[in-house]
Amino acid sequence: MHEPRHDWTLAEAEALYALPFPELLFRAQQVHRAWHDPAEVQMSTLLSIKTGACPEDCAYCPQSVRFETGLANEPLLPLETVLERARAARAAGATRFCMGAAWRSPKARDLDKVAAMVRGVRALGLETCVTLGMLSDSQARALKDAGLDYYNHNLDTSEEYYREIISTRRYQDRLDTLAAVRAAGLNVCCGGIIGMGESPRDRAQLLVTLARLPAHPESVPINQLVRVPGTPLADAAPVDPFDFIRTIAVARIMMPRAQVRLSAGREGMSDELQALALLAGANSIFYGEKLLTTGNPDVARDQALLARLGMRPEAAVPGHGA
């Protein structure tokens, strides 16, 4: 078993993408089996705890105040509502509970409320993850003190293509938040979105950026664009399914320790495509609830798929609450 590398080059990543499909999946499977149980899948649930009215202009996002998508704005959920949803997620087999809020960055009063949610969810025995936008060093430390396990902050795409998708923040702002999260001692959840009109080189460069971080993200969500009417990317061309699988396989090879998560876009994927993603090295999925504001396959379908494949959900995380 080779130690993870942090010196990947763009040429190397592009060479992996260019491998014949069977060879790429074979290499990804070799890495996956060296670092993970190939029959085990982590089940995560994502709840939108504050929806809509975000001031950012991310071209893929229905929560932006700048786009008319018909999404109803909802204030921050009460603590007990969040805990009820977390209990339901745990009962359905989830081991990680993720909470997302549509903010550019959280205000102090809001961060205190989220910290209470983190403490409550963790006491239920679930791993905790939040995505709240940009964080300062002190905000990251406050979340760590509350017991947060993971912080999600996706890079979305390559630095070169980023300006085509978002103008209200810089790529460096995202990297600065990742640095603050890591400095606070939190695990990092960071990935991207496939299908926004980016080139194969952009996809490779995104993975190179992630793999060259001082420590690889512990969790790497690979999202397929959900084309939401009213957003600038509503009419984006569909992603070639094999290109999507290639991205998962290359992520697995370049970041062997990470949980590579099959995330947004699963509602439109066949069981066969999802099985191929698991074969390519994905070992975590979001299930149950809505994936923030877009649909997600229901729990029964996911459980049935794993049973058909002879796979099983990851066991509960030891040492987390009751």
Catalytic residues: 54, 58, 61, 98, 129, 189, 261
The DSSP line for 238-250 is PPPHHHHHHHHHH
User: At residue 222, what are phi and psi to the nearest 5 degrees?
Assistant: -110, 110
What is the dihedral sign for C-alpha 83, 46, 102, 75?
negative
Question: How many H-runs (helices) and E-runs (strands) does the chain carry?
Answer: 11, 10
The DSSP line for 12-80 is HHHHHHTS-HHHHHHHHHHHHHHHS-TTEEEEEEEEEEEBS-B----TT-TTBTTS---PPPB-PPPHH
What is the dihedral sign for C-alpha 272, 290, 263, 65?
positive
Residue 247, both tokens: 């991205």
Rounded to an integer, what distance in angstroms lies between the CA atom of residue 136 and that of residue 105?
9
